[in-house]
Structure 1
């Protein structure tokens, strides 16, 4: 059996779900350890939850909670060492305690980097220390998986090693949701353009700017779903303005249907967060999968890919640029052409990527004893 570990509710977690889908379809045993940070009591088959309420994006304020999470992982893996043969740790905040457990259990471990903490030029003592530990763990793990080949540049050269690449590609049989289709169509009676954002409500995602723009422009409607640091702000604005619709936390199929029925997907990654230069977001691949253009900001590798393949629009960060784009440059014919480009890229490069990765790479990892 394989133990997969993720430091959120995994309810949903698109990347983690790819592995779960494969394990279930191939009739292989698995268990997921996940951290339920909310008030809701979550129960899912094959899941064991660590229930400790706290928020996201709290930085150093979350350290005591992270320590408790580390202890939970370590104890679980030690106590249940006879029931599994492989640990699949997702990101640094599960890999650290999981790796230390293998000192005692001698189990094989996968370090799957959903999102690096590491930065080539970390600032401050704490960040430098965590950066070095993450690099060491990457070097020492039995198997390493990253989400984009170029993100190996976030690892110090002396700690680089063989790795596999699984991009953040949607792995789902999309079920068309007629209720969402009808709801968005009814919105079109009142608004010219429908925008969508589905994801984490973190700082430096341009959410404050897009929320302010939409709230001030009645031709636009924003369907927004997710959770995180800015959740209260999103809720307050949606309560005040009819053209900002907050859907709460939604399942993956609902989120994809929201994006599919919109005119454009919002995908900002402002560079105040140094890690955003290397951002490899789900939304980029979701746009390709759905045949939908994205709107993002410049000075990131995501922007470079968007320009290279002509799959969306790239503007400068900030409210003035958003306003200029939508009020003076936005053209639905341009959007439709980029939609065609996204679908072509998906069909030629990514449609069968996940299936091949699972059968040709991940299965070999699972078979290692």
Structure 2
């Protein structure tokens, strides 16, 4: 049995859903231990267990006590379930530490899935940052398998490109949502964002300010986080903003399929955004819709190279200038190019890499790991 550990809700994690789907198709059993940080209602699924201690998203050191309790809870839960554990698949350092200790003590294979570099996302520097980086690097190098989201991240995580125990799995969707056709981009532009509503570093506050009140724009937003009240209030004010609340992956992608432009900005105020390998880059290709992103980031470089979207400077003024210059031909041309890139490079990626390489590695670890349950 594979035990997934993630300090998040499984239903809002598209990458986690791909692992579940690939393993289910292969007939490999799994369970999930997660953290419901804001006490929201989550679907009752067999084998899914949630730690319910409240914590604020992005609160940093203010969550230190809750983080300690979370790691203690994970370790105890794994010990309790140890007879069923064949492999532990942990996401990021906040789930990886307790999982690593368990795997050392009970001799189970550990899969460390580095969605992001822990300190870079949270802005942790100084001695504490160096200590956490060392710990993350140590766990990554000692894990039976370490997964990273892009080949650009080998150096960031201190890993060797030729290491056979490191697997690159890009955040490519499983193509469960088809593009909406026929499609004709025209004013008012339907601009969409689906994801975590962070108060800073993602440009969402600038997006709202640039779009609100414009008769030529309809802004559609789905997700939850610090800015949810602001988007909700803007929608209730009867403006051109539409807020849908939190949505599961398939529903959110279905909404984005109806847009003219998909937004995914990554301000460089977060150092980790220099290594961004976001779902939204691959989603815009799958859905055949152009992406608006940030200049100076990997997705920005890619959309400019492929002419599948726009990479603009940070700030409300840049977004306003971009909106003023939009025309139907440019939107349609970039959307068609996005769909072409998807067909050429990524249409079969999920089957070959998630259903293929990942499942094969997991099966090998299950066979090579301890099976006596002690």
Same fold (TM > 0.5):
yes
Q: Is the 8 A contact 1:138 1:160 kept in 2?
A: no
Residues 157-306 of structure 1: pairs in structure 2 closer than 5 A: 161-162=163-164, 163-174=166-177, 192-202=188-198, 203-306=200-303
Is residue 2:59 matched to residue 1:58?
yes
Following superposition, the deviation at residue 139 of structure 1 comes to: 0.9
- For residue 265 of structure 1, give the secondary structure of its aligned residue in structure 2: strand
CA shift in 2, pair 1:159/1:92, >3 Å: farther
- For residue 49 of structure 1, give the secondary structure of its aligned residue in structure 2: strand
Q: Is the 8 A contact 1:297 1:303 kept in 2?
A: yes
Q: Aligned partners of 1:155 and 1:51: how far apart in 2? A: 30
Q: Aligned partners of 2:278 and 2:160: how far apart in 1? A: 27
- For residue 54 of structure 2, give the secondary structure of its aligned residue in structure 1: coil
Q: Aligned partners of 1:217 and 1:6: how far apart in 2? A: 40
Residue 146 (structure 2) aligns with? 144
Q: Is the 8 A contact 1:118 1:135 kept in 2?
A: no
- For residue 11 of structure 1, give the secondary structure of its aligned residue in structure 2: helix
Using the TM superposition, name which of 359-368 and 135-144 deviates more.
Answer: 359-368
Residue 67 (structure 1) aligns with? 68
Higher relative contact order (CA 8 A, sep 6+): 2
Following superposition, the deviation at residue 122 of structure 1 comes to: 6.9
What TM-score do the two structures reach when normalised by structure 2? 0.90
- For residue 144 of structure 1, give the secondary structure of its aligned residue in structure 2: strand
Q: Aligned partners of 1:25 and 1:116: how far apart in 2? A: 30
- For residue 200 of structure 1, give the secondary structure of its aligned residue in structure 2: coil
- For residue 12 of structure 2, give the secondary structure of its aligned residue in structure 1: coil
Q: Is the 8 A contact 1:175 1:253 kept in 2?
A: no
May I ask how many residue pairs the two structures share in their alignment?
A: 360
Give 5+ residue unaligned stretches, structure 2.
369-374
Residue 88 (structure 2) aligns with? 87
- For residue 345 of structure 1, give the secondary structure of its aligned residue in structure 2: helix
Is residue 2:79 matched to residue 1:78?
yes
- For residue 111 of structure 1, give the secondary structure of its aligned residue in structure 2: strand
Q: Is the 8 A contact 1:291 1:340 kept in 2?
A: yes
Residue 155 (structure 2) aligns with? 153
Q: Is the 8 A contact 2:88 2:99 kept in 1?
A: yes
CA shift in 2, pair 1:242/1:347, >3 Å: same
Q: Aligned partners of 1:235 and 1:323: how far apart in 2? A: 21
Q: Aligned partners of 1:264 and 1:126: how far apart in 2? A: 40
Using the TM superposition, name which of 68-77 and 158-167 deviates more.
Answer: 158-167
Following superposition, the deviation at residue 172 of structure 1 comes to: 4.6
Residue 335 (structure 1) aligns with? 331
Following superposition, the deviation at residue 289 of structure 1 comes to: 0.5
Deviation readout 1:264-301 (Å, 9 max, x if unpaired)? 01111011111111111111000000011001111111
- For residue 45 of structure 2, give the secondary structure of its aligned residue in structure 1: coil
Following superposition, the deviation at residue 201 of structure 1 comes to: 1.0
CA shift in 2, pair 1:44/1:177, >3 Å: farther
Provide the alpha-carbon RMSD of the alignment: 2.4
Q: Aligned partners of 2:268 and 2:355: how far apart in 1? A: 37
Is residue 2:128 matched to residue 1:132?
no
Deviation readout 1:30-49 (Å, 9 max, x if unpaired)? 10111112233422232111
Q: Aligned partners of 1:159 and 1:126: how far apart in 2? A: 27
Give 5+ residue unaligned stretches, structure 1.
none
Deviation readout 1:304-339 (Å, 9 max, x if unpaired)? 111111110111110111111111x21221111111
What TM-score do the two structures reach when normalised by structure 1? 0.91
CA shift in 2, pair 1:360/1:254, >3 Å: closer
Residues 114-133 of structure 1: pairs in structure 2 closer than 5 A: 114-119=115-120, 123-133=125-135
